[in-house]
Chain A
């Protein structure tokens, strides 16, 4: 008995060379792909569902990052308008400017004298006639300060400091709406990520369910493979590849749809930007985003298949 057992162990083992292993994986991957092509309609439907589910959060995330860039560039150009008292002379104003230029919190400061302000107002407002009716210039001199830091809190501090200067009537930080925009975009960004998470889970379940059906339809084959000594991982492999292909297809589809959508929107967005005098045009997401989307989708597909396989495949045992 034991002798027989020993003699038995001496039988030559197959050569598990890396090459033949890779060959086998390639064969299985291609076989899974071939099976998807055999049922083109249902495969395409699964891929479309994945593509659409991923398109929504991807579009929103790209829109959000565009918006964030926009608000950054606006925050960069934020400035404090310091209105001087009407009785302050141009000379005093110029001295004050020179003095403030030494302040480290201020990057740059320009003086708009009362006369300049009046000229500007006359030119741009179209209310020149009204001004003519006045016997004196109602506009004060203004110092326009650009804060050295874009940090809203430091800007607010600087504002406080400038407001307390003796010759200053009032100072105004043109930052409040930027802050509002910032906090809105933070909120929306979180909502978008949460939505993305939910839709990623939807992709997992869609792939998982599709794989469950595939497992069910190949039940007889799985039983035979297990009977002749196939391990769980051997049986699982083609399904994992199937999930991978679904994810890859869905990712590519959503990338394609995203490009079409952006091409469709680029005209109106460009116009909008021009109207608001904003420099940032529509920036097309590049290769890293594409790789992230397609790779992430393929990973999701694989993971969905894995979940399904762990749940359903292991339960199929020959009886």
Chain B
């Protein structure tokens, strides 16, 4: 599903955000990506979205080598990946319903089919009754759930989340994580960046840890073993 081969990313100005990172996320797998701020979590997610391009190594997503993905295919590639942002990136000039409908509108769905899917997604995150509201009147947790509904509405095979619980209190954060686990159970591959170690260690999933751009540990909860990243291309 997602595969990093010796991936390095250097920003203009010399800052090295990722250094020779290798890992593979299988189809239907769920993993957390952790590390201090500035460790390279966001950069790693951006490389998967092709918002950034790797300077070295190869990123493969859905069998596509992103180094060789032509710019014109980028929008179609991105439609297969759902993304949840810390600041949820909702549009406040339209209703909750229209926010969630955006990816379907882009893909050219007819009105009825789109409405059916939007309601299904909103139902899943428990916001069906708020579809007509402007997201600006919702609480932080609700806004984040609208963002999640938008990310899953066109049923992507991969869901990425960048600090999805960063602005939420522990209880709401746990709810959001539970939601992610439910999506994972129906077969969506998930990679969630979070620095909330106490939360993610409780949730027995694979944890990738970055430190200053280096993948320093890759732990699956069953075999709680830590291996050096260069030797763990096939975990």
The interface of chain A, by Cβ under 8 A from chain B, is 1-5, 7-8, 11, 14-17, 19-21, 23-24, 220-221, 223-232, 234, 317-319
B102→A224 contact, CB < 8 A: yes
Chain B 41-81 interface mask (CB, 8 Å, partner A; 1/0): 00000100101100000001011100000000001111110
B104 sits at the interface (CB 8 A)? yes
A20→B89 contact, CB < 8 A: no
A227→B1 contact, CB < 8 A: no
- Other-chain contact of A229, B63, B78, B157 (Cβ < 8 Å): B78
- Other-chain contact of B108, A24, A225, A228 (Cβ < 8 Å): A24
**Minimal beta-carbon separation of A94 from chain B (angstroms):** 87
**In the complex the two chains form, what is the Cα distance from A230 to B6 in whole Å?**
30
**In the complex the two chains form, what is the Cα distance from A230 to B77 in whole Å?**
10
**Minimal beta-carbon separation of B131 from chain A (angstroms):** 18
- With both beta carbons as reference points, the residue of chain A lying nearest to B99 in the complex is identified as A224
**In the complex the two chains form, what is the Cα distance from A11 to B27 in whole Å?**
15
- Contacts A226-B75, A231-B75 given: A221-B113 contact, CB under 8 Å? no
**In the complex the two chains form, what is the Cα distance from A112 to B136 in whole Å?**
94
Question: For residue B106, which residues in chain A have a CB less than 8 angstroms away from its CB?
Answer: 225, 228-231, 234
Chain B 106-132 interface mask (CB, 8 Å, partner A; 1/0): 111111010000000000000000000
Question: For residue A224, which residues in chain B have a CB less than 8 angstroms away from its CB?
Answer: 89, 91, 102
**In the complex the two chains form, what is the Cα distance from A232 to B78 in whole Å?**
13
**In the complex the two chains form, what is the Cα distance from A225 to B78 in whole Å?**
11
- With both beta carbons as reference points, the residue of chain B lying nearest to A20 in the complex is identified as B110
**25 A–B contact pairs at CB < 8 A?**
A1-B60, A1-B63, A3-B27, A7-B27, A8-B157, A11-B157, A14-B108, A14-B113, A15-B113, A20-B109, A221-B93, A223-B89, A224-B89, A225-B106, A226-B75, A228-B78, A228-B150, A229-B76, A231-B75, A231-B76, A232-B75, A234-B75, A318-B49, A319-B51, A319-B52
- Other-chain contact of B62, A8, A16, A23 (Cβ < 8 Å): A8
- Other-chain contact of B49, A15, A20, A227 (Cβ < 8 Å): A227
**Minimal beta-carbon separation of B29 from chain A (angstroms):** 10
Question: For residue B102, which residues in chain A have a CB less than 8 angstroms away from its CB?
Answer: 224-225, 228
- With both beta carbons as reference points, the residue of chain B lying nearest to A4 in the complex is identified as B27
A17→B78 contact, CB < 8 A: no
Instruction: List 9 tightest A-B contacts by C-beta distance, closest first.
Output: A5-B63, A229-B79, A4-B27, A20-B110, A229-B78, A231-B75, A228-B103, A230-B106, A14-B109
**Minimal beta-carbon separation of A60 from chain B (angstroms):** 43
**In the complex the two chains form, what is the Cα distance from A8 to B110 in whole Å?**
22
**In the complex the two chains form, what is the Cα distance from A228 to B90 in whole Å?**
12
**Total count of chain B residues near the partner, CB < 8 A:** 37
A11→B155 contact, CB < 8 A: yes
**Minimal beta-carbon separation of B90 from chain A (angstroms):** 8
**Minimal beta-carbon separation of B136 from chain A (angstroms):** 13
> Which residues of chain B in 152-181 are interfacial with respect to chain A, using CB atoms and an 8 Å cutoff?
155, 157
A318→B51 contact, CB < 8 A: yes
B63→A2 contact, CB < 8 A: yes
Question: For residue A16, which residues in chain B have a CB less than 8 angstroms away from its CB?
Answer: 108
Question: For residue A15, which residues in chain B have a CB less than 8 angstroms away from its CB?
Answer: 109-110, 113
- Contacts A8-B157, A319-B51 given: A227-B107 contact, CB under 8 Å? no
Question: For residue B24, which residues in chain A have a CB less than 8 angstroms away from its CB?
Answer: 1
Question: For residue B150, which residues in chain A have a CB less than 8 angstroms away from its CB?
Answer: 228
**Minimal beta-carbon separation of B96 from chain A (angstroms):** 14
**In the complex the two chains form, what is the Cα distance from A226 to B111 in whole Å?**
21
B3 sits at the interface (CB 8 A)? yes
A220→B63 contact, CB < 8 A: no
A20→B93 contact, CB < 8 A: no
- With both beta carbons as reference points, the residue of chain A lying nearest to B117 in the complex is identified as A14
A17→B110 contact, CB < 8 A: yes
B109→A229 contact, CB < 8 A: no
Question: For residue B155, which residues in chain A have a CB less than 8 angstroms away from its CB?
Answer: 11
- With both beta carbons as reference points, the residue of chain A lying nearest to B107 in the complex is identified as A14
Question: For residue A223, which residues in chain B have a CB less than 8 angstroms away from its CB?
Answer: 89
13 new A-B contacts, CB < 8 A, other than A14-B107, A227-B51, are A1-B26, A4-B27, A4-B63, A5-B63, A8-B62, A14-B108, A14-B113, A223-B89, A224-B102, A227-B78, A229-B79, A319-B46, A319-B51
